[in-house]
């Protein structure tokens, strides 16, 4: 393996910090760029002493120049409560941020992977979702700033690939969880675990029969690394774990595994909350050298509980 200089935008966030750690372990130089909107210095504290690691505060809405070999473009708030706080800024981050990074890729000849999302499928009419499905997204709903922003980012990346020959990879990421999610991230796994550990009620939105398919972070990062290395081109690739759970099942599992006495309560379902979501990962399995998630939900949740015990108990 030759040592590469790799830019990770959103590198101080949940996924970005795990990716940075993995790339350093693989012997690369990592330039981590973040505006610390949802990312934290503590996420990358363990990497700061590594001479191959650099950290910059920068907002991807602003243009930048940099000589790098590869770009993993992850910068964007990912949790509904965060991306809906300032929807215009979310769209700008997704669209202008991706444009700015595509320009860096074009100028430096870097290969670039963009972190897209299963949200491009919206509230899917097709189940499980294959990459061929075009989605069912409300363009004016509360999730539109994120969903449409990411759809536009995919369109931009594809246009840069066809028009300028930029080497683009598109990862459609399904719900991923694990250590270093923010305590107040707002996504369901961290919410339930933190609630269970602090003796607060577990808040199920709606009847809890909606489904998601949860992927442990190390499995996703392995998929990122393989996708970046693959020669298959710019067609999007689903990355996620096909095991599907209802929110009731997830809450029950987390309650059992933490031994928590917290009650389970129901709160209103947010508008446009997708009813079900499940990845078809055949394309990834075929193109990424047999990549497949290997961490069972129970094991991943156990590691996440252990991490949050440290956070909650200080
Ligand atoms: P996260 O919120 O922990 O990380 C996002 C990072 O981007 C944070 O460090 C944040 O400070 C940074 N950021 C946000 N706006 C920025 C800006 N304008 N300029 C520079 N930095 C900025 O979320 P995550 O789960 O690590 O998500 C990372 C990426 O993966 C996001 O693009 C997200 O859309 C995508 N994704 C994640 C999931 C998942 O389940 N974790 C699913 C689908 C897609
Ligand atoms: N959810 C929930 N309780 C919470 C947070 C989320 O029941 O405290 C539900 C949410 O309504 C959705 C699912 O869990 O149906 C996943 O939500 P999350 O925000 O983690 O991801 P996304 O909706 O973006 O897939």
Quick: pLDDT tens for 62-72.
999 999 999 99
Q: Which DSSP helix (H) or strand (E) runs through 127?
A: none
Over the chain, what is the mean pLDDT? 97
The stretches of 246-296 forming alpha helices (DSSP H) are: 247-258, 282-287
Residue 46 predicted with pLDDT over 70: yes
Token pair recorded at residue 173: 């990421």
Q: Distance (Å, rounded) from C-alpha 212 to C-alpha 277?
A: 5
Q: Which atom of ligand 2 is nearest to the CA of 187?
A: 20
Helix residue ranges, H only, 9-86 = 14-25, 80-83
Q: How far is the CA of 119 from the centre of ligand 2 (A)?
A: 12
Residue 27: pLDDT above 70?
yes
To the nearest 5 percent, what fractions of the chain are helix, strand and coil?
A: 40, 20, 40
Work out the average pLDDT over 282-292: 97
Q: Quick one: pLDDT at residue 242?
A: 97
Distance, in Å, from the CA atom of 163 to the CA atom of 159, rounded to the nearest integer, reads 6
- 118: which DSSP letter? G
Angle at 39 (CA atoms; ends 112, 71), nearest 5 degrees: 10
Residue nearest to ligand 2 atom 25, measured at CA: 175
Amino acid 85: pLDDT: 93
Full set of structural domains in the chain with CATH? 5-180+214-242+276-294 (3.40.50.720)
Q: Is 211 a residue whose pLDDT tops 70?
A: yes
Work out which ligand 2 atom sits closest to the CA atom of 191: 8
User: Tokens 């769209």 map to which residue?
Assistant: 91
**Structure tokens, 160:** 């840069």
Model confidence at 314, pLDDT cuts 50, 70, 90, reads confident
Q: What is the distance in A from the centroid of ligand 2 to the CA of 188?
A: 5
Q: If you measure from the C-alpha of residue 137 to the centroid of ligand 2, how many angstroms do you get, rounded to a whole number? A: 17
Residue 117 backbone phi and psi in degrees, to 5: -155, 155
Whole-number Cα distances in Å, 68 to 5, 162, 311: 5, 21, 35
Strand partners, 267: 205
Average pLDDT over residues 233-249: 97
Which whole number is the average pLDDT over 153-179?
98
C-alpha of residue 192 to centroid of ligand 1, in Å: 20
Mean pLDDT value of segment 27-34: 98
150 pLDDT tier (thresholds 50, 70, 90): very high
Q: How far apart are CA 282 and CA 285, in angstroms?
A: 5
Residue with tokens 């066809």: 162
Q: What is the pTM of this model?
A: 0.98
The stretch 76-96 carries a mean pLDDT of 96
Task: Report which bound ligand comes closest to the CA of 77.
Answer: 1
Can you tell me the distance from the alpha carbon of 234 to that of 308, in angstroms, rounded to the nearest whole number?
37
Parallel/antiparallel/unpaired status of strands 70-73 and 176-177:
unpaired
Report the share of the chain in percent with pLDDT over 90. Answer: 98
**Average pLDDT, stretch 281-302?**
97
Separation between Cα atoms, residue 93 and residue 114, nearest integer Å:
13
**Among all residues, which ones are annotated catalytic?**
146
Identify the band that residue 1 occupies on the pLDDT scale cut at 50, 70 and 90. low
Express each pLDDT in 93-121 by its tens digit: 999 999 999 999 999 999 999 999 999 99
Pocket lined around ligand 2, Cβ cut-off 6 Å: 79-80, 175, 187-188, 191, 203-205, 210, 212, 247, 270, 273
Nearest CA to ligand 2 atom 3: 204
């Amino acid at each position: 393996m030759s040592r590469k200089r790799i830019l990770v935008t959103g590198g101080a966030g949940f996924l970005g910090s795990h990716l940075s750690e993995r790339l350093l372990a693989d012997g690369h130089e990592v330039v981590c760029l973040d505006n610390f909107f949802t990312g934290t210095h503590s996420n990358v504290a363990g990497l700061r002493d590594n001479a191959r690691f650099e950290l910059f505060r920068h907002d991807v809405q602003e243009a930048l120049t940099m000589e790098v070999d590869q770009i993993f473009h992850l910068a964007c708030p990912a949790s509904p409560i965060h991306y809906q706080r300032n929807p215009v800024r979310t769209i700008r981050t997704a669209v202008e941020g991706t444009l700015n990074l595509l320009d860096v890729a074009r100028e430096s000849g870097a290969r670039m992977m963009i972190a897209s999302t299963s949200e491009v499928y919206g509230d899917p009419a097709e189940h499980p979702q294959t990459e061929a499905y075009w989605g069912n997204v409300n363009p004016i709903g509360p999730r539109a700033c994120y969903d449409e922003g990411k759809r536009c980012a995919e369109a931009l990346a594809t246009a840069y690939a066809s028009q300028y020959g930029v080497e683009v990879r598109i990862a459609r990421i399904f719900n991923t969880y694990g250590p270093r999610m923010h305590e107040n991230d707002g996504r369901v796994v961290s919410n339930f675990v933190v609630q269970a550990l602090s003796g607060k009620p577990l808040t199920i939105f709606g009847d809890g029969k909606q489904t998601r398919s949860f992927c442990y972070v190390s499995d996703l990062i392995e998929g990122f690394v393989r996708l970046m290395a693959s020669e298959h081109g710019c067609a999007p690739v689903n990355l996620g774990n096909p095991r599907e759970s209802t929110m009731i099942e997830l809450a029950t599992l987390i309650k059992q595994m933490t031994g928590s006495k917290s009650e389970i309560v129901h709160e209103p379902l947010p508008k446009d909350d997708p009813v079900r979501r499940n990845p078809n990962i055949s394309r990834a399995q075929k193109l990424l050298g047999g990549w497949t998630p290997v961490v069972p939900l129970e094991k991943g949740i156990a590691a996440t509980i252990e991490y949050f015990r440290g956070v909650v108990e200080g």
